[in-house]
Amino acid sequence: MQKLIAAFVAAFAGGAVVVAPASADEQDARRIFQEMSDYLGSQSAFSFDYDAALDLVTNEGQTLTLASSGKASVARPDKISASRTGGFAEIEMVFDGKTLTFVNKGADTYTEIEIPGDLDNLIDTLRDTYQRPLPAADLLMSDVDGQLMPLVTDVKDLGSGVVGGVECNHFAFRTQDVDWQIWIAGGDEPYPCRYTISSSKVAGSPQYTLVVSNWKTGADAMVGDFKVTIPAGATKVDASAIADKLPENFTLLGDAK
């Protein structure tokens, strides 16, 4: 993200830029997104359940989708616990401010990585050092608006939508590389109910979609002690081995892009 921002700034550094005035709808979209960012950044603790869908596009042009569900708990500034269960992986991830532990229960393996610091540093380090960006992790950072808005080149206010029975404000944003949409809950708790990222640079425009439910904050948040139990007999592996592997039945249908 930082490299993309730098490229964005450099592209306009050579001369004056004429910026068209934002429409009222665009101004509302940016304002509500900023309100969501401020709300998320101000929460000392929150938890939620989620359903996720990840598209894969084969070399034959067929789109395949991997579905999973999980839970996440966050205690700012430096703790997170998350789990994910799907047909291809059963993962638990815990970060206690010093050590990140991944447990792959399906493969009976685990890895531990020393990454002292806050959640922002954790997310940046996983992306930049280990080339493992966590999907939708920008929404967990302390300044979501500062992470995502600098790259936005187009904004659309799509009105209202309903996600899991919650009425939301629906916006679409475009950057040079991806299109993304977000549904933000109305009212005093403007949390993200649904987040969809579409790659405009890959044939078939594969998407990643995260749908949030059971949102809780403060004393109601389902926050534990941020300790992980490593199964007896699990094998410790190198950090480079933590990436998910496609299930065999998917690889037989054509190599995924």
Q: Strands across the sheet with 192-199, in order?
A: 154-163, 166-174, 178-185, 192-199, 207-217, 45-57, 63-75, 79-86, 90-95, 99-104, 109-114, 235-236
The pLDDT value recorded for residue 21 is 44
Q: pLDDT value at position 134?
A: 82
Query: Where do runs of H (alpha helix) occur along the chain?
Result: 2-12, 24-42, 119-128, 144-148, 248-251
Q: Is the pLDDT of residue 249 over 70?
A: no
pLDDT on residue 175: 94
Cβ-based neighbours of 187, under 8 Å, separated by 6 or more: none
- The pLDDT score that the predictor gives to residue 107 is 84
| DSSP one-letter string for 61-121 | S-EEEEEEEEEEEEETTTEEEEEEEESS-EEEEEE-SSEEEEEETTTTEEEEEE--S-HHH
CATH assignment of 24-237, given 2.50.20.10, 3.40.50.720, 2.60.40.10, 3.30.1330.10?
2.50.20.10
* 204-209 CB contacts, 8 Å cutoff, 24+ apart: 204/55, 204/57, 204/61, 204/63, 204/257, 205/179, 206/54, 206/55, 206/56, 206/57, 206/63, 206/257, 207/53, 207/55, 208/52, 208/53, 208/54, 208/55, 208/135, 208/136, 209/52, 209/53
**Residue 27, C-beta contacts closer than 8 angstroms, at least 6 positions apart:** none
For the chain, give every domain's residue range.
24-237
Give tens-digit pLDDT for 176-210.
Answer: 989 999 999 999 999 999 999 998 777 778 999 99
Tens digit of each residue's pLDDT (9 = 90 or more) over 48-91: 999 999 998 888 888 889 999 999 999 999 999 999 998 777 89
Token readout for 122 is 């954790």
Query: What integer pLDDT is reported at residue 242 of this predicted model?
Result: 62
pLDDT of residue 250: 58
Express each pLDDT in 1-19 by its tens digit: 344 334 333 333 333 333 3
The DSSP letter of residue 200 is: S
Residue length, the chain?
Answer: 257
d(CA 159, CA 218): 29
Query: CB-side exposure of 12: number of CA atoms within 13 Å?
Result: 12
What is the structure's pLDDT at 201?
Answer: 78
Give the pLDDT confidence of 115-170 residue by residue, as tens digits. Answer: 999 999 999 999 899 888 887 899 999 999 999 999 999 999 999 999 999 999 99
Return the number of other C-beta atoms located less than 10 Å from residue 207's C-beta: 18
Rounded Cα distance, 131 and 125, in Å? 8
pLDDT in tens, 32-44: 999 999 999 999 9
What would the mean pLDDT of 90-118 be, rounded to a whole number?
93
pLDDT at position 238, please? 87
What is the arithmetic mean of pLDDT over 236-249? 69
